[in-house]
Amino acid sequence: MFCYQCQEAAKGTGCTIQGVCGKTNHVANLQDLLIYTLKGIAVLNEKGKAAGVKSPEADFHIMHSLFMTITNANFDDAAIAKTIKEGLAVREALKASLAAKGVELGDLHDCATFSVSTDEQIEAKSTDLKAGVGVLATENEDVRSLRELVIYGLKGMAAYAHHAYNIGAEKEEIYAFISKALAATLDDSLTADELVALVMETGKYGVEAMALLDGANTGKYGNPELSEVNIGVRNNPAILISGHDLTDMEQLMEQTKGTGVDVYTHSEMLPANYYPAFKKYDNLVGNYGNSWWKQKEEFESFNGPVLFTTNCIVPPRPEHISRIYTTGAAGYPGCTHIVADENGKKDFSAIIAQAKTLAAPTEIETGSIVGGFAHAQVFALADKVVDAVKSGAIKKFFVMAGCDGRMKSREYYTEFAEKLPEGTVILTAGCAKYRYNKLPLGDIGGIPRVLDAGQCNDSYSLAVIALKLKEVFELNDINELPIAYNIAWYEQKAVIVLLALLYLGVKNIHLGPTLPAFLSPNVAKVLVETFGIAGIGKVEDDIALFMA
């Protein structure tokens, strides 16, 4: 195996024996083969474009499979092998449609022609570097870096497009771009400049995907609003729901209401508490615990069953497996996976029944956290915010969106939040917030000093807010605003968020706790020189630099 797609890549270069995330060599190789299969489908999609051949099955398959390969989403080798076989069937069906339209296929890349059916064949193909399977199949490290940067961006984009799809929102252009970009990662004729342009275009479609999801989420569940979320517990049996998918959240709430079983959110599902549609359920108690990497201890004290709607899954303690459930793109061997029927309906009755046999959660903290500052809520406070900036009460905003992770170096973000001078406000989204959302940072004239927009995809809201402020203050450039960007990343959704911000013209983003292992020195140099991307240093030095 070779994987360097996340921030915790071993030794800052890549995992080669087993993932720091817990991904085995076997699963990593299968994920490589899955990506390779998708490239084959993408090549055929490209061929069919001119002839108007469209395959919703192919588009869905690509989107769903990309999501499965995101860090901590799916550890289930059998599920991945099955998805590879399904992909080959989708690919062959696409070939038949192309033939029916008289499209000449010409010489096809191996990824569009290979076939495997037995487990042994899959295993053997999964390490076929020569054919082009796996990250290291691209020998030139700069080309590899740019290709993988695109692919990781596509994974994040696919995740967001998938959530939107589940709500019924789709955009043809996003699917078309995903196929185009995947196929382009096979094209040896592209120059470095053309690949950099493709990276930027990935950011453009990242904005589209986040906007699509924002519209879908708020259209269906209302605009997030200022909320106080309880972090204590009640005395009823309960289910913990993690991940990002709001349609799963909705179905769980509908199925648990009136059953005597409570629901708590974990990690990235916390922002569900901000939506009007979920506030109406009196069995949604609040949020339990912290960000994803604390789940082993927190699942122990939670006592009840856990539903993963997406990443991040940490390989569970064996004794917890029987009360962990996955759905959608998530998966873990031994955990029950709940599949939707043809209408998207999921039956969570087994989880509810199990919850009733287990103890209520053990309280690990009390109090509440405040959030719900997506664009509509911030716009509702716009006058207050603008006045505070004009009067100098707010001197600077810090966008600290992104991810949390296990590394000790992430204590930087807690310290950074604590040491920020008066007159500063943190704008956050994603699970990075758990590093400072329980600190007593106070408010500025009623505006909390930590404004949480929501999930990582709600970083879109932060961009919308920045664009609005630019308009209000009549500036020409988004970079003239008193906003600094100190972003923490972990997995590939953060990659698409970063590319989206670059596409929107945001400069001088600081990225930590370490720069991606997949950036070759030359590619890193381009990002530094063109966009002013920088790492992080000492808290005091960084604050002084940002405030200067």
Which residue positions form the known binding site for hybrid [4Fe-2O-2S] cluster?
244, 268, 312, 403, 431, 456, 491, 493
Minimum distance between the CB of residue 113 and ligand FSO, rounded to whole angstroms?
35
Q: Is 3 in the site for ligand SF4 (CB under 6 A)?
A: yes
Q: Is 68 in the site for ligand FSO (CB under 6 A)?
A: no
What six digits make up the tokens of 292?
């994803």
**Pick from 112, 201, 220: which is nearest to 157 by CA?**
201
Select 90 or 312, whichever has its Cβ closest to ligand FSO.
312
Q: What is the DSSP secondary-structure string of 251-286?
A: HHHHHHTTTT-EEEE-GGGGGGGGSHHHHT-TTEEE
C-alpha atoms less than 13 angstroms from C-alpha of 416 in its C-beta half-sphere: 33
Query: 8 contacts which partner out of ligand SF4, ligand FSO, none, CB within 5 to 8 A by kind?
Result: ligand SF4
Site for ligand SF4 in 10-29 (CB under 6 A): 15, 19-21, 23, 28
Three-class secondary structure of residue 228 per DSSP: strand
Minimum distance between the CB of residue 531 and ligand SF4, rounded to whole angstroms?
23
Stretch that binds ligand FSO, among 332-340, 435-443, 464-472, 488-496 (CB under 6 A): 488-496
What six digits make up the tokens of 83?
């998805």
> Are 297 and 291 contacting, i.e. CB atoms less than 8 angstroms apart?
no
> Are 495 and 149 contacting, i.e. CB atoms less than 8 angstroms apart?
yes
- Radius of gyration of the chain, Cα coordinates, nearest whole angstrom: 23
Window 276-295: contact mask with ligand SF4 (x via CB under 6 A): --------------------
Minimum distance between the CB of residue 492 and ligand FSO, rounded to whole angstroms?
8
Stretch that binds ligand SF4, among 6-14, 140-148, 185-193, 241-249 (CB under 6 A): 6-14
Q: Report the C-alpha gap between 14 and 8 in whole angstroms.
A: 8
Q: Report the C-alpha gap between 288 and 538 in whole angstroms.
A: 32
What six digits make up the tokens of 335?
């955990």
Question: Which of 90, 116, 456, 465 is in the footprint of ligand FSO by CB under 6 A?
Answer: 456
Q: Is 5 in the site for ligand SF4 (CB under 6 A)?
A: yes
The angle formed by the CA atoms of residues 398, 399 and 400, to the nearest 5 degrees, is 100
Q: Is 312 in the site for ligand FSO (CB under 6 A)?
A: yes
Query: 472 contacts which partner out of ligand SF4, ligand FSO, none, CB within 5 to 8 A by kind?
Result: none
Query: 5 contacts which partner out of ligand SF4, ligand FSO, none, CB within 5 to 8 A by kind?
Result: ligand SF4
Stretch that binds ligand SF4, among 1-9, 190-198, 286-294, 345-353 (CB under 6 A): 1-9
Q: Report the C-alpha gap between 261 and 256 in whole angstroms.
A: 6
Question: Which of 185, 247, 424, 455 is in the footprint of ligand FSO by CB under 6 A?
Answer: 455
Question: Which of 29, 37, 55, 71 is in the footprint of ligand SF4 by CB under 6 A?
Answer: 71
Q: Report the C-alpha gap between 273 and 6 in whole angstroms.
A: 28
Amino acid identity of 476? N
Question: Which of 4, 75, 299, 412 is in the footprint of ligand SF4 by CB under 6 A?
Answer: 4
Residue showing tokens 């993690």: 242
Residues in Cβ contact with 331 at an 8 Å cutoff, skipping those fewer than 6 apart? 68, 73, 74, 75, 76, 79, 80, 337
Q: Give the sheet arrangement for strand 324-327, strand by strand.
A: 284-287, 262-265, 238-242, 306-308, 324-327, 336-338
Stretch that binds ligand FSO, among 359-367, 415-423, 475-483, 491-499 (CB under 6 A): 491-499
Q: Report the C-alpha gap between 19 and 23 in whole angstroms.
A: 5
Which residue positions form the known binding site for [4Fe-4S] cluster?
3, 6, 15, 21
> Are 546 and 396 contacting, i.e. CB atoms less than 8 angstroms apart?
yes
Q: Is 6 in the site for ligand SF4 (CB under 6 A)?
A: yes
Three-class secondary structure of residue 444 per DSSP: strand
Minimum distance between the CB of residue 71 and ligand SF4, rounded to whole angstroms?
4
The angle formed by the CA atoms of residues 426, 245 and 72, to the nearest 5 degrees, is 80
**Main-chain dihedrals φ then ψ at residue 44, nearest 5 degrees:** -70, -40
Q: Is 175 in the site for ligand FSO (CB under 6 A)?
A: no
Select 401 or 464, whichever has its Cβ closest to ligand FSO.
401
Site for ligand FSO in 282-311 (CB under 6 A): 292, 311
**DSSP summary character for residue 152:** H
Minimum distance between the CB of residue 72 and ligand SF4, rounded to whole angstroms?
7
Taking CB atoms, the residue at the shortest distance from ligand FSO is 403
Query: 292 contacts which partner out of ligand SF4, ligand FSO, none, CB within 5 to 8 A by kind?
Result: ligand FSO
Q: Is 430 in the site for ligand FSO (CB under 6 A)?
A: yes
Query: 15 contacts which partner out of ligand FSO, ligand SF4, none, CB within 5 to 8 A by kind?
Result: ligand SF4
Q: Is 491 in the site for ligand FSO (CB under 6 A)?
A: yes
**DSSP summary character for residue 498:** H
C-alpha atoms less than 13 angstroms from C-alpha of 404 in its C-beta half-sphere: 23
**DSSP summary character for residue 76:** -
Which residue positions form the known binding site?
3, 6, 15, 21, 244, 268, 312, 403, 431, 456, 491, 493
Site for ligand SF4, rule CB under 6 A: 3-6, 8-9, 15, 19-21, 23, 28, 71
Site for ligand FSO, rule CB under 6 A: 244, 267-268, 292, 311-312, 402-403, 430-431, 455-456, 490-491, 493-494
